[in-house]
Amino acid sequence: MITAAREKDLFSAADMLLDARRTCQPIADLPTELRPTTLEEAYVVQDRMSWAYEAIGGWKVGAPTPDATPTFAPMPADWITCTGCELRGLAHRYRGVEAEIAFKLGADLPPRDVPYTREEVFDAIASMHPAIEILETALIDPDQATKLTATADMAMHGGFVYGNPVRDWRDIDFSKETVSLTIDGAVRVERTGSNTSGDLTRLLPWLANEGAGRTEGLRKGDWITTGSWTGNTIAASGVAVEANFTRAGRVTFRFA
């Protein structure tokens, strides 16, 4: 259980990370006494940061290996936009990009005592889309900071661009799906069946069930993006970024 004194520390950590993002003056790490020491504490920092960004438009969820327990973070609604856009503003300093597969819910999945089945969750999905997650961070080098600090920092979330809906998505064999990530016309990454969680569809019922205590249930209109296929690729200002899946479609945007 997190005490009131410890919660105050974690709120201070959130404020420090927010200030680093807003001012584009990244920090090496949080002070030792403010660093989260458990995933639960990292989630407290995430949630505190998300309140500053107001409405939540969905969740990023992923797992580093097929056997790992997933983790998740909120996606501010104001950071979600459609393919073909140009992203402007000082918020984009780090400019990491990852190709992903995302889903939009067409029905509520409120918390309940009986776990949702995979089919029930699939039936609540309105559409599937190719997507690019933009990674941003309050940290100078997130690989050099403690892992839980990077997790607390909104899991490095900085934006989400979705492509057009894909028909017959349930027929796609994601283990055979190939994706390329292109920056200014040059292919930087090309991989097949490379989602880090293995079966990415396992993340959806997990979020609806295990994540419900924190999300307070998933809602119609929520976006759920399901982890990287291409790893973190750093882009520069002014470049065009494109992710192209064999069957799951294409999505593109430009950094101003």
Residue-wise pLDDT for 224-252, tens only, equals 999 999 999 999 999 999 999 999 999 99
What range does the domain containing 231 cover? 55-255
pTM: 0.96
Domain annotation covers residue 14? no
Asked if pLDDT for residue 82 goes beyond 80, the answer is: yes
Residue-wise pLDDT for 179-222, tens only, equals 999 999 999 999 999 999 999 999 999 999 999 999 999 999 99
Domain annotation covers residue 106? yes
98: domain CATH number is 3.90.850.10
Taking alpha carbons only, the member of 95, 136, 138 closest to residue 241 is: 95
Number of domain units in the chain: 1
Q: For the chain, what percent of residues have pLDDT higher than 90? A: 97
Domain annotation covers residue 24? no
Domain annotation covers residue 128? yes
Q: Band of the pLDDT at 88, cuts 50, 70, 90?
A: confident
Domain annotation covers residue 32? no
Domain annotation covers residue 63? yes
Domain annotation covers residue 19? no
Domain annotation covers residue 118? yes
Q: What is the pLDDT of residue 90?
A: 65
